[in-house]
A and B are shown apart, each in its own frame.
Chain A
């Protein structure tokens, strides 16, 4: 075999290997999804969505769980959205390039990679104990806000960076202040990107169980929370709880709840993709 033939063979071999690697992840995920859907789809009906939890698998529903998830979603968004955008705008538009701002930047990037259970412990100490909130919705939302804040800050900065310098110059040259330039030019032009980041961050928050278990969210909540001060559970905790039961019927319930949880995250991600696409179509620099 000549050298060039050898090279061609190697090339081919790597290609096959690459395809194999790519498919391994997808196939495993697909098998998992199919398995879940077969197991759980039959269990999903109106009663399942609107029933309270129960000790008997056949009567148990996920009303309190998805209501709790919705509460957490909205509350976290309300808390993290303004904080994250304000911090991103400050770092990108206002902060002078000093050692302090460098230090802040590096740490925010690092925070985005901290395991969620650590945030749970922080939330437990800060919100549940020191602020004495207890394991209520507000404490959970605050904890998850901390978790997604770094992600929102980073994506906000990326989106703001994509707005060309010339737009800011144009605004300043007409007598606009920094704030006016940010408010009337930079934020509207980068809003699609920011929103995309926020939604993706929220879809991560929706799937979290660990930090909420740590702060003391309950697995069994026999009522729908009616205010941020109520105790709560969320879908991932409900799923976790059901999968640890010995009875097979609860596993079916868990599969059904997973489908609902996946639908929620897919929906959020879909909105994010749509917004990004619309933004790209609308603004071409």
Chain B
């Protein structure tokens, strides 16, 4: 498959949890300002793979990788890479909405505060802009000083997206961002992903085949730690090459 400009790349990537070989020789390049979906049955390694791009697996005892992960052509696992700098570039949204037990405002500006930014004007402007980008501003603009925990699940997830956008990343990783949400909230998140891909490179892990079909430009199918097939989403869903892919997307297993 032709990639115009590859934003993220994995080269000969193997990952291990202790003795367990979780990812096997993955090679993939993902296009800038597009949505790439990772699909596959539970335990196939897609979430593990997603988390290698912002090094969230670093905290797991016994986890190690071999091979390379490139962001804009630069290996992010070399010693001179600072993880906090990497994560300013590569934001993440989790499966379960995880707002901090603080006000809505403090949630959005948290990433800036830990960078040492104190200027109220900058914080307020970023807060408004990020919430607007996340299509949440109109719903919360009058209650920025209220606890984020009082929001609905869907609102909380959009708040988490706003929080990630506030530090101006270029990549957003989404780990099943709508799996804990009702259909209406899910639709809002999907609309949002469609909007965001104009400015951001988005990688999304999903269990929901229709969702992958709706939001993504490219789809990668993982099975038992291997990247089985990677193609344009339309191509993959209409004429999958591998029988395993075919079986999975037609719902025969998984």
Q: Interface on A for B, CB 8 Å cutoff?
A: 96-97, 164, 166-167, 169-177, 180, 184-185, 188-189, 282-285
Contact = CB atoms under 8 A, between A and B. Distances in A.
Interface stretch (B85-93, B204-212, B232-240, B242-250): B85-93
B33 to A, nearest CB: 21
Return the 3 tightest CB-CB contacts between A and B, nearest first: A166-B98, A174-B111, A173-B92
B96 interface: yes
Nearest to B107: A170
A96 B115 contact: no
Contact of B110 (A96, A164, A171, A285): A171
A281 to B, nearest CB: 11
B114 A180 contact: yes
B59 A170 contact: no
Given A166-B98, A167-B98, A97 B91 contact: no
Given A167-B98, A169-B94, A175 B167 contact: yes
B140 to A, nearest CB: 18
Contacts, number: 67
Interface in B99-116: 99-102, 110-111, 113-115
Nearest to B89: A175
Contacts of A171: 100, 110, 114
Q: Is the interface of A mostly helix, strand, loop or mixed?
A: helix
B160 A170 contact: yes
B109 to A, nearest CB: 10
Q: Which residue, A164, A174, A283, A284, has most C-beta atoms of chain B within 10 A?
A: A174
A175 B98 CA distance: 16
A97 B96 CA distance: 27
A169 B50 CA distance: 14
B149 A284 contact: yes
Interface in B27-46: none
Contacts of A284: 149
Given A97-B61, A169-B56, A283-B149, A174 B98 contact: no
Contact of B54 (A173, A177, A185): A173
Given A96-B61, A184-B110, A170 B84 contact: no
B114 A173 contact: no
Nearest to A166: B98
Contacts of B56: 169, 172-173
B215 interface: no
Interface in B167-218: 167
A174 B101 contact: no
Contacts of A189: 101
